[in-house]
Amino acid sequence: MDYHSLIKRWTALPAQDLLDEIFTSYGTRAALGTSFQKTGLVAIDLLSRHRQDFRVFTIDTGRLFPETHAYMQAISERYRLALEVFSSDANDVADLLATSPYGEYLFLESAALRQECCYVRKVLPRNKALRTLDVWLTGVRKDQSSFRGTLRKVEVIEFEGRPILKVMPLFDWTQEQIDDYIRKRDLPVHPLYAKGFATIGCQAPCTTPSLPGEAPRNGRWRWEKSGLKECSLHLDKFDDGAGI
CA 49 to each of CA 20, 74, 149: distance values in angstroms, whole numbers, following the listed order: 10, 18, 28
Outline where DSSP puts E strands in 138-189. 154-159, 162-167
Query: Annotated binding residue at 202?
Result: yes
Return the amino acid letter for 158.
Answer: E
Q: Can you count the helices (H) and strands (E) in the chain?
A: 8, 6
Contact present, 159 and 130 (Cβ < 8 Å): yes
Instruction: Reply yes or no on whether 99 is catalytic.
Output: no
Query: Annotated binding residue at 117?
Result: yes
Label the pairing between strands 154-159 and 162-167.
Answer: antiparallel
- Please, what is the Cα angle at 26 between 186 and 121, to 5 degrees? 70
Q: Which ranges of 80-134 does DSSP label H, i.e. alpha helix?
A: 90-97, 111-118, 124-130
> Which secondary structure element, helix H or strand E, spans residue 58, and what is its range?
strand 55-60
- Nearest-angstrom CA–CA distance, 211 and 45: 29
- Nearest-angstrom CA–CA distance, 165 and 32: 12
The catalytic residue among 133, 231, 242, 244 is: 231
Q: Quick one: which of 127, 125, 114 has its CA closest to 241? A: 114
As annotated, the binding site includes: 117-118, 202, 206
Catalytic residues: 231
As annotated, the binding site for [4Fe-4S] cluster includes: 117-118, 202, 206
